[in-house]
Amino acid sequence: MSTPTPPAAAQAATDPRTFRRTTLDLGDAVLRPWGREDAGPGPLLDSLITAAADPLIALWNPLAARDHDAAVAWLEAREDAWERGAAAPFAVLDATDGSLLGCVNVRWIDRADGLAMIGYWALPTGRGRGVITRATNAVTDWAFRTADARRIELAHAVANEASCRVALNCGYLPEGTLRASHLFGDGAHHDEHLHARLATDPEPAAR
């Protein structure tokens, strides 16, 4: 007797709005799915725990991966998200030595409507070289092209100017300010800028 397919996996198999595991090559960096396989002891797991402790990440993009067990649980949740096609969390790795530079994640907010949200963070070693901008752009294009995303939103705290630059450089047009809309790592609600890109928008100029 065959085992019944779980409903979420069955939806992922047939729904065109499914994020399917892939690798994206940027030349100097490679984006590949986070997952259970990263939970073994090694530099990647250590770098994830280091990222969670970074003050800027802890402020603007808190990660529940502060110690070994939390990081393993975080990876298990990424595995599950890929399994369901509900989100596409990518590790951004240096192409030369495989070290972790950052992360870009796109996830459905309303899958039936093709509405998604994108986010990112970079370790200090991955900052200031434009790699997160290029990675965000690559994931955006991929989500429009292969997962039938219609609109992707991006929100950042008004004070987070680096994130605003990434959004604008990736063609996410500003749509306004959301008041006290999100609880950040400092325990305060901050205003956020909402940006969005539509599948029909022109691609940003190459940088």
Length of the chain counted residue by residue? 207
Cβ contacts of residue 206 below 8 Å, gap of 6+?
none
Tell me how far, at minimum, the Cβ of 130 lies from ligand COA, in Å. Answer: 4
Quick check: 31 and 23 in contact, CB under 8 A? Answer: yes
CA 193, 186, 93 angle in degrees (round to 5)?
Answer: 70
Q: Which is nearer to ligand COA, 65 or 132 (CB)?
A: 132
Tell me how far, at minimum, the Cβ of 54 lies from ligand COA, in Å. Answer: 7
Quick check: 196 and 144 in contact, CB under 8 A? Answer: no
Q: Which is nearer to ligand COA, 12 or 118 (CB)?
A: 118
**Per the structure block, which two tokens stand in for 72?**
């393993």
Tell me how far, at minimum, the Cβ of 127 lies from ligand COA, in Å. Answer: 4
Residue among 155, 149, 163 nearest 118 (CA): 155
Residue among 144, 147, 204 nearest 173 (CA): 204
Tell me how far, at minimum, the Cβ of 68 lies from ligand COA, in Å. Answer: 22
Tell me how far, at minimum, the Cβ of 44 lies from ligand COA, in Å. Answer: 17
With H, G, I as helix, E, B as strand and everything else as coil, classify residue 30.
Answer: strand
Ranked by CB distance to ligand COA, the top (closest) residue is 165
Residues that bind ligand COA (CB under 6 A): 56-57, 60-61, 119-122, 127-133, 156, 160-163, 165-166, 169
Q: Which is nearer to ligand COA, 133 or 140 (CB)?
A: 133
Q: Which is nearer to ligand COA, 18 or 133 (CB)?
A: 133
Q: Which is nearer to ligand COA, 18 or 137 (CB)?
A: 137
Helices (H) and strands (E) counted in the chain, each on its own, are: 6, 8
